[in-house]
Amino acid sequence: MSQPIELQKDETFVLNVGPQHPATHGVLRVKMTMDGEYIYKAETVLGYIHRMHEKMAENRTYPQYMPNMGRLDYLSAMAFNHGYALVVERACGIEVPERAEYIRVITVELNRISSHLVWLGAYVLDLGGFTPLMYCFDDREQILDLLESVTGSRLTYCYFRFGGLYNDIDDEFITGTRAFIIRMRKELKMYAKLVTGNIILMKRLQGHGIIDKDMCQRYGATGPVARGSGLNYDVRKNEPYSVYPELDFDIPVNDGCDSYARYLVRMEEMEQSLRIIEQALDKLPEGPVNPEKKPKLIKPPSGDYYAAVETARGNFGIRLVSDGGKNAYRLKLRSPTYSNMHLFDEACRGMLLADALAFMGSLDLVIPEMDR
């Protein structure tokens, strides 16, 4: 989008979108300077739900801090659990049993699909379509039932443990997950007919919200936002972890650079997650889900440690600085949505307000993850 020429102050007005506005999906405020219905500037204002998660890591032991991960990106909590467990395990040299690694991947990918289903239903609702929301939440309920059976929770999971898991999965979970894979593949075909090929949706999204590769790289955008701009980057492939290297799956990439391209990437990601889950179930080995030897007190040696995982919204990086104590000296969380959101101002200048809200929805924002 070409940016508008500089305007006189008396020709513009300020419009506050949020912090209480359904289009922001949380307490996010966007201070928009408008020229009629066209956006001249959009300033993101955070801080309305800041909870000092990073500071909390300094006065909690490492196990005590694990529940905080489920309160960041509450729609993709499993991946955040995985990232935190991964960095502490690397720091302490804790070996994770192979069965636990496969179960981690299965639960993370189920959670990724459930996250994308919430995004899909809410996104189409923002654009004026109500029916897909009902289907999306019906499919999501099937996932939540499965995950609840092994984790005891339906949203803010705290299932991972350093070196393993809270508990093992059973035959009922495996049978239910295989049944869900069959169901979801049929549902994806239905969504393709109901939503993807809908001419109204295509007209609302195609050619709007243009984000090129250069802008993604300048702002550090990752996940479906970057892959919808032709950047083939996924932590699961580019910085492999867990048992992802043992599984065969593709990274959906689309060079359309618009809101529709980001939509297509997420729809294809759900199919790839099904592929991953199916293979992980087929290869699931026998054995324990927790290591035989694990330190009774988690106290990583002094040093600087880093781990990254691919969440439903992109690269979640976690940097741990340890002084050898039972609490982290410093924990820095690299939030994918924080970077993805900050390109909004530059990308939406000169755009109609209605198109900008459709563009914002294509970024799939989770505000507590940004404003942590």
Give the tens place of pLDDT for each residue, 35-60: 888 999 999 888 888 889 999 999 99
27 contacts: CB under 8 Å, gap ≥ 6: 18, 19, 20, 48, 49, 367, 371
User: How far apart, in whole angstroms, are the C-alpha atoms of residue 71 and residue 368?
Assistant: 7
Q: CATH number for the domain including 283?
A: 1.10.645.10
User: How far apart, in whole angstroms, are the C-alpha atoms of residue 221 and residue 236?
Assistant: 16
Look at residue 342 and tell me if it is in a domain. Answer: yes
Strands (E), the chain: 13-17, 29-35, 38-45, 160-161, 164-165, 303-311, 314-322, 330-334
Nearest by Cα to 335 from 310, 316, 307, 308? 316
Assign 9 a pLDDT band (cuts: 50, 70, 90). Answer: low
Q: Residue 289 in contact with residue 101, Cβ under 8 Å?
A: no
pLDDT at 2: 44
Look at residue 312 and tell me if it is in a domain. Answer: yes
Assign 177 a pLDDT band (cuts: 50, 70, 90). Answer: very high
CB burial of 26-57 (b: ≥16 within 10 Å; e: otherwise) equals bbbbbebbbbeebbbbbebebeeeeeebeebb
Look at residue 1 and tell me if it is in a domain. Answer: no
Sheet of 29-35: strand order equals 13-17, 29-35, 38-45
What residue type is assigned to position 217 of the chain?
Q
What residue type is assigned to position 245 of the chain?
P
Look at residue 225 and tell me if it is in a domain. Answer: yes
User: How far apart, in whole angstroms, are the C-alpha atoms of residue 20 and residue 26?
Assistant: 7
Residue 7 CB neighbours (<10 A): 13
Count of structural domains, the chain: 1
The stretch 234-239 carries a mean pLDDT of 95
Assign 221 a pLDDT band (cuts: 50, 70, 90). Answer: very high
Look at residue 66 and tell me if it is in a domain. Answer: yes
Assign 5 a pLDDT band (cuts: 50, 70, 90). Answer: very low
Model confidence, pTM = 0.93
Looking at residue 301, the DSSP 8-state letter turns out to be P
Assign 120 a pLDDT band (cuts: 50, 70, 90). Answer: very high
User: How far apart, in whole angstroms, are the C-alpha atoms of residue 320 and residue 86?
Assistant: 11
Task: Give the position of tokens 């290297």.
Answer: 245
Averaged confidence pLDDT in the chain = 92
What residue type is assigned to position 372 of the chain?
R
Q: Which domain holds residue 72?
A: 9-370
Look at residue 4 and tell me if it is in a domain. Answer: no
Q: Residue 188 in contact with residue 252, Cβ under 8 Å?
A: no
Q: Quick: pLDDT tens for 334-366.
A: 999 999 998 988 998 889 988 988 999 999 999
Work out the burial of residue 234: count CB atoms within 10 Å of its CB; fewer than 13 is exposed, 13-18 middle, 19 or more buried: buried
Look at residue 2 and tell me if it is in a domain. Answer: no
Nearest by Cα to 119 from 228, 267, 272? 267
pLDDT at position 4 over 60: no
Would you give the end-to-end CA distance of the chain in angstroms?
A: 31
Q: Residue 250 in contact with residue 272, Cβ under 8 Å?
A: yes
Look at residue 290 and tell me if it is in a domain. Answer: yes
